[in-house]
Amino acid sequence: MSTAVVLPALGESVTEGTVTRWLKQVGDTVQADEGLLEISTDKVDTEIPSPVSGVIEEILVAEDETVEVGALLARIGDGSGAAPGGDAPAEEAPAEHQQAPAEQAQSTAAPAENEVEAAQQQAQSDSPAPAASSDATDVVLPELGESVTEGTVTRWLKQVGDDVAVDEALLEISTDKVDTEIPSPVAGTLQEILAGEDETVEVGAVLARIGSGAPAAQAPAQEAPAQEAPAQEAPAQQAPAQEAPAQQAPAQEAPAQQAPAQQAPAQQAPAQEAPAQQAPAQQAPADSDSDSLYVTPLVRRLASQQGIDLSTVTGTGVGGRIRKEDVLKAAESKSQAPAAEAAAPAAPALEVSPLRGTTQKMSRLRKVVAERAVASMQQTAQLTTFVEVDVTKLAAFRNAKKDEFNQKTGAKLSFLPFFTLAAAEALQAFPIINSTVDGDSIVYPASENISIAVDTERGLLTPVVRDAGTKNLAQLAQEIADLAARTRDNKLKPDELAGGTFTVTNTGSRGALFDTPLVFLPQSAILGTGVVFKRPGVVTVDGVDAIAVRSYVYLAISYDHRTIDGADAARFLGAIKSRLESAEFAANLGI
């Protein structure tokens, strides 16, 4: 089985590279992480390492040829497909098997001790154990971002002996930038796990091995009968001396009777069967702790608050895992029960956290957020400006369109896409808000890449909606919902967290009126949106002031005063306020 070598991502804006020199040729043996070739891009010249150990079977890109990121460069295997001469071992194999009967015939005249020794030597020459793992594929820790060099194994989703499909999640990895799942590169059986939970490994390290059969410990016992088949002409008088091992392994008794002359290797079968028989017992705890039964503390606490029995909830997460959305949906269904059952207390009692009175080590993500927050406050001059927006017309427009919008797009029409669209348009008019500081220069990006703050069980993450200024409400709503869901499910790619030029954080989703959000470098500003609420307000009707029930929202922009003045922030918020209060979004729905 060969492993594909592809051109990895070499930077956020790098899309292609030119092969300047191959350091290895077809037929050469390479080790994992050994340099294969040199690549030149418009930003950097670098070597591409081998992802696995093996023999170069094929080179698919010539020197001086330019290829895109993700393109197939070469294939590395066990050498069986490396070159025309590589078929020689396969041609010699029949000759070895043809010699086996002759050797077996000669062994009939030797004492029993010599027979055992000869059979053991022949078993070693046949190498049954490597045969079980020769098609095994190494699962390595891939590159998870340009500056990510290592990751910590947080949880194995599969155990030794489990069957896995291509791209099926094997384990969860935590890095400085993202928590994600590592998929299986091939279909097969998980034969070996080489990195334990809570163990930190470098990019390129081997995490596990996947093959086409049982784990390596089981392979010799299963292959023993296949090696006994050639010895069918041996005298039957040798059978009594070696029947005992066969009696200890009834499952292999039939093949053993066909090959009395080579039953000596079968004596190893009982010793090798013990681990195989213990495997199901060892896997039982892992099976009972499958994704379908795994419930995070947040989900468990939410279910307790909502009075939901988790055993009655069907999970929609990875492997049937119960997510927060599943509990909320179950709670919503419960609230639609008869009025007699719906008379539950409006404010459920708060559950005492199990963390109370304990000391916990900070997660890697929390450490990174802490360091970046302190660095941002120390290196920038931040302040916040607020504005109140009357969104009564916008609320009416949203209520009138949300059902049709959901039917045609499959996404919910919340207020967030409106805020994001208005912010993207204002950023185009006031690019200083979208700028970054580079030494004594101000960089004005050519696009509005808006980071959306997402609250997860692991902490705050900010996936990026790229080119937000070119998208309509339907596109924004669908992309925001997709990014938020994949962020909470650890499905994000590292590049989806990088490249943001401006951030929108919806603190109103938890009922907050407003806050003073923190700007994270290298960005210069962040927009906070509060909860949309109703209260009496003064309106002018036919030139006469009147009091009416209106819908309002507070918008807050925190910004770096080194480059952004208060007037810039006020103009930016004024543009958003005017756009939202006019509520002229019919042409931007995208349905």
Tens digits of residue pLDDT in 79-107? 665 444 444 343 443 434 444 443 443 44
Does residue 287 sit within a domain?
A: no
Enzyme catalytic residues: 561, 565
pLDDT recorded at residue 270: 39
Determine contact, residues 321/299, Cβ cutoff 8 Å: no
H helical segments located in 359-514: 364-379, 392-409, 416-429, 473-488
User: Does residue 488 belong to any structural domain of this protein?
Assistant: yes
CATH number at residue 165: 2.40.50.100
d(CA 532, CA 395): 9
> pLDDT band for position 13 (50/70/90)?
low
pLDDT digits (tens, 9 = 90+) for 200-218: 888 888 999 998 765 654 4
Return the C-alpha torsion angle 559, 563, 564, 567, nearest 10.
150
Predicted pLDDT at 48: 86
- What is d(CA 578, CA 164) in angstroms, rounded to the nearest whole number? 54
- At 212, is the secondary structure helix, strand, or coil? coil
What are phi and psi for residue 157, nearest 5 degrees? -90, -15
Q: Report the pLDDT value the prediction gives residue 350, as an integer from 0 to 100.
A: 85
**Would you state the pLDDT for residue 283?**
39
pLDDT number for residue 286:
38
Check residue 544 and give its pLDDT: 87
On whether residue 185 sits in a domain, the answer given is: yes
State the amino acid at position 24 in one-letter form.
K
Q: How far apart are CA 249 and CA 265, in angstroms?
A: 12
385 has a pLDDT exceeding 90: yes
Query: CA-to-CA distance for 531 and 500, rounded, in angstroms?
Result: 24
Most confidently modeled range among 175-179, 187-191, 213-217, 313-317: 187-191
Amino acid at 48: I
Please tell me the predicted confidence (pLDDT) of residue 326: 82
Q: Given this model, what pLDDT does residue 278 score? A: 40
The CATH number given to whatever domain includes residue 548 is: 3.30.559.10
- Residue of higher predicted confidence among 165 and 114: 165
Domain termination site, one of 215, 244, 264: 215
- pLDDT confidence of residue 412: 92
Q: Does any domain span residue 515?
A: yes
pLDDT tier, 171 (very low <50, low <70, confident <90, very high otherwise): confident
Closest to 478 measured CA to CA, from 399, 422, 409, 419: 409
Hey, which bits of 110-241 come out as E strands? 137-140, 150-156, 163-164, 169-174, 179-183, 188-193, 200-202, 206-211
Question: Taking each helix axis from N to C terminus, what angle separates 297-306 and 324-335, rounded to the nearest 10 degrees?
Answer: 10
More confident residue, 134 or 60: 60
Convert the pLDDT of each residue in 345-354 to its tens digit: 567 788 898 8
Mean pLDDT of the chain, nearest integer: 77
Q: What percent of the chain has pLDDT over 70?
A: 70
Q: At residue 203, what is the residue type?
A: V
Is the per-residue pLDDT at 125 higher than 70?
no
Helix (H, G, I), strand (E, B) or coil at 120: helix
State if pTM tops 0.85: no
Residue 253 included in any domain: no
Residue ending a domain, among 192, 215, 238, is 215
Check residue 442 and give its pLDDT.
Answer: 96
Q: How confident is the model at residue 376 (pLDDT cuts 50, 70, 90)?
A: very high
Q: Is 232's pLDDT higher than 70?
A: no
Domain that holds residue 163: 133-215
Residue 506 lies in a domain: yes
Least confident of 60-74, 300-314, 406-420: 300-314
Angle, helices 566-582/392-409, rounded to nearest 10 degrees: 70
| Domain edge (last residue) among 215, 236, 265 | 215
pLDDT (tens digit per residue) in 537-551: 998 888 888 899 999
- For range 40-67, the mean pLDDT: 83
- Total count of domains within the chain: 2
Residue 263 lies in a domain: no
Q: What is the reported pLDDT for 543?
A: 86
Q: In which order are the strands placed within the sheet that holds 29-30? A: 3-6, 72-77, 54-59, 29-30
Interval 507-527: pLDDT, tens: 888 889 999 999 999 999 999
Count Cβ atoms below 10 Å from residue 266 Cβ, excluding itself: 27
How many alpha carbons lie under 13 Å from residue 481 in its C-beta half-sphere? 16
| Contact call for residues 278 and 256 (beta carbons, < 8 A) | no
pLDDT bracket for residue 136 (50, 70, 90): confident
% of the chain beyond a pLDDT of 90: 36
Q: What is the pLDDT of residue 307?
A: 83
Element containing residue 290 per DSSP (H, E): none
pLDDT value at residue 454: 92
| pLDDT of res. 208 | 92
Quickly state the pLDDT bin for 378 (edges 50, 70, 90). very high
Position 242 in a domain: no
Residue 31: band (very low, low, confident or very high) from pLDDT cuts 50, 70, 90? confident
